[in-house]
Amino acid sequence: MENDYLSLDPVRIVGTVERLTVRVRERFPESGLSQVVVQVLSVARKAQNEAERIRGPIWWVRLLAALLVIGLGGLGVLVVQSLRTVQLSVDGASLLDYLQAIEAVINEVLFLGAALFFLVQSEGRIKRHQMLAALHELRSLAHVVDMHQLTKDPDRFRPDVVLTASSPARGMTQFELSRYLDYCSEMLSLLGKVAALYAQDSDDPSVLAAVNEIESLTTGLSRKIWQKLMIVYSSPLFVGKED
C-alpha cells in the first residue's frame, strides 16, 4: 500500500484528464479548447498503454538474441572438436588448410558475437525511440495549449483599457476567463505528469532529459497563466462561482 504513493498511477492520471475533459466541454462546448482537451485525453490514454508495453520485453529481439547464442554455442563446439582432431592427427600437408578453416570459424564467432551485442543494445534503442517520439507529441501539445491562452489578456477588463480594431474578441466574462485560464494550467500540469509516466521506470539519459525538459516547459507556461489569473482574481469586480 505504501508503494502506491511512491509512483504515478496511470489509471488515476487518465481519470483526472477524463474529468477535466467533461468540465471543459461543459463550460466551453464550442471552443477550440474543448477539442484540445480531447487530444490531451487521447495522449494520456495512449501513454497508459504504451508506458506499460515499453516496460516489457521486445520478444522478437530476444528471440533473435537466443538464436545467436545457440549459434555461438554450436560454433564453439565445432572449434573444440576441430582442435581435438588436430591433436590426434596432424598432417603437415593439410595443416595450413586446417588452420585457415579454424580462422574462418573464429571469424564467424566474432561476427555472431558482434551481432549479439548489437541485438542486446537494440532493445534499449528501440524503446528509447518510442518514448522520445511520444514525448515529442506531448511537447507539441503543450505549445498548442499555450497558444489557446496566449490572447486571453485579463488587462482588457480594466475600465481604462483602449481597444483597437485588431484587439482580440472580448467574449468572456471575468469568471469565464478565469476558468478558461485555469483549465489551460491544469492541462499543462497533466501533460507533465503524463510525460513522467515514460520516465518512471527508465534510466535512459535521453528519456530523462526529455521528460525534464517537458516538465520545465509546462511549469514555465503555467507560471505565465497564473500571473494572468492573479490579475483576474485581484479585480474588485471579479465574482467567483463554483466550477
Of 101 and 233, more confident:
233
Residue 243 lies in a domain: no
Residue 212's pLDDT is what? 92
- All cell numbers assigned to 222: 503555467
Of 55-59, 129-133, 152-156, where does mean pLDDT reach its minimum?
A: 55-59
Higher pLDDT, 29 or 151: 29
Residue 121 forms part of a structural domain = yes
* Confidence at residue 57, expressed as pLDDT on a 0 to 100 scale: 67
Residue 239 counted as domain residue:
no
Helix (H, G, I), strand (E, B) or coil at 157: helix
In a domain, 242, yes or no: no
- Split into its structural domains, the chain has a count of 1
| Residue 102 to residue 78: CA distance in whole angstroms | 9
Q: On the CB side of 4, how many CA atoms lie within 13 Å of its CA?
A: 4
Residue-range definition of the domain harbouring residue 21: 2-233
pLDDT digits (tens, 9 = 90+) for 30-89: 889 999 999 999 999 988 888 777 666 666 667 776 776 776 666 666 666 665 555 444
Q: How far apart are CA 97 and CA 108, in angstroms?
A: 17
Query: What is the reported pLDDT for 185?
Result: 94
User: Which residue type, as a one-letter code, is found at position 108?
Assistant: E
pLDDT of residue 126: 77
What's the rounded Cα separation, in Å, for the pair 214 and 204?
Answer: 16
How far, in Å, CA of 193 to CA of 12, rounded?
11
Q: Is residue 229 part of a domain?
A: yes
pLDDT at 25 over 90: yes
Least reliable range by pLDDT among 6-15, 87-96, 209-218: 87-96
- Residue at 241 is within a domain: no
Asked if the model's pLDDT at residue 2 lies above 50, the reply is no
With respect to residue 143, please indicate whether it lies within any of the assigned structural domains.
yes
In a domain, 187, yes or no: yes
